Amino acid sequence: MNFRCGLLARFAAAAIAACGLGSVMFASAQQIDMNIVDQPGYQPTPEEAQLSGSYERQEVFFRSTEAPGTVIIDSKNRFLYLVQPNNRAIRYGIGVGREGFQWAGLEKISRKQEWPDWRPPPEMIERQPYLPRFMAGGPGNPLGPRAMYLGHTIYRIHGTNQPQTIGHAVSSGCFRLVDTDIIDLYDRVPVGTKVIIKQAAVL
């Protein structure tokens, strides 16, 4: 059955009959993830940047042994949690690394920057050779208005000028939030904050 579903996942219409709605949604998301490209210079409208449903910023019940203020990233389900007291957390919808660029680990926020410059990594340029090698920070910059750097890695938690990518695996390993959410998180999280990156679901 798994083999059959794996084959049919390439064809969304056939998957509806063979694997059920959940598999169709997964297959469709994978197809969308592979087709999204960066759009330097694009400035989304406020309506485009307004998330709804589960990816909208919201306070949720969240049982954790981590101290309030800890950031926990659930790559599988595309959520970032900022732990709050009394089994609560602020949950943000995020975009994560595409297949081959997802990772897990324990880091700290080592640096914060407003309106960061963008230098696409070699892997991104290889996939999208039309991209600029450098873009100064500002509206339309793919990193958005804020960035928080993760330890000594090349990865960041940052904004995005592509709100439609939230909930998808599209990046080269960074974690993206819509601009209003990254500004909100940036203002709540100081340098030195503990960040836990998980690929499995957070319970």
Question: Would residue 48 count as lying in a domain?
Answer: no
Are 14 and 76 found together in one domain? Answer: no
Are 173 and 120 found together in one domain? Answer: yes
Domain count, the chain: 2
Are 77 and 15 found together in one domain? Answer: no
Question: Would residue 47 count as lying in a domain?
Answer: no
pLDDT at 171: 84
Are 96 and 172 found together in one domain? Answer: yes
Question: Would residue 42 count as lying in a domain?
Answer: no
Catalytic status, residue 5 = no
Question: Would residue 44 count as lying in a domain?
Answer: no
Using DSSP's 3-state secondary structure scheme, residue 149 falls into strand
pLDDT in tens, the chain (203 residues): 443 334 333 333 333 233 332 323 333 344 344 456 666 656 777 777 788 789 999 999 999 999 999 999 999 999 999 999 999 999 999 999 888 888 999 999 999 999 999 887 787 788 778 877 888 888 888 899 999 999 999 999 999 988 999 999 988 889 999 999 999 999 999 999 999 999 755 54
Q: Which of 5, 19, 152, 158 is catalytic?
A: 158
Tokens of 177: 């939030």
pLDDT at 16: 29
Q: Which of 19, 152, 168, 174 is catalytic?
A: 174
Q: What is the pTM of this model?
A: 0.76
Are 91 and 17 found together in one domain? Answer: no
Using DSSP's 3-state secondary structure scheme, residue 118 falls into strand
Do the beta carbons of residue 62 and residue 82 sit within 8 Å?
A: no
The CA R_g of the chain, rounded to the nearest whole Å, is 17
pLDDT at 20: 32
Range of the domain at 29: 2-35
Question: Would residue 85 count as lying in a domain?
Answer: yes
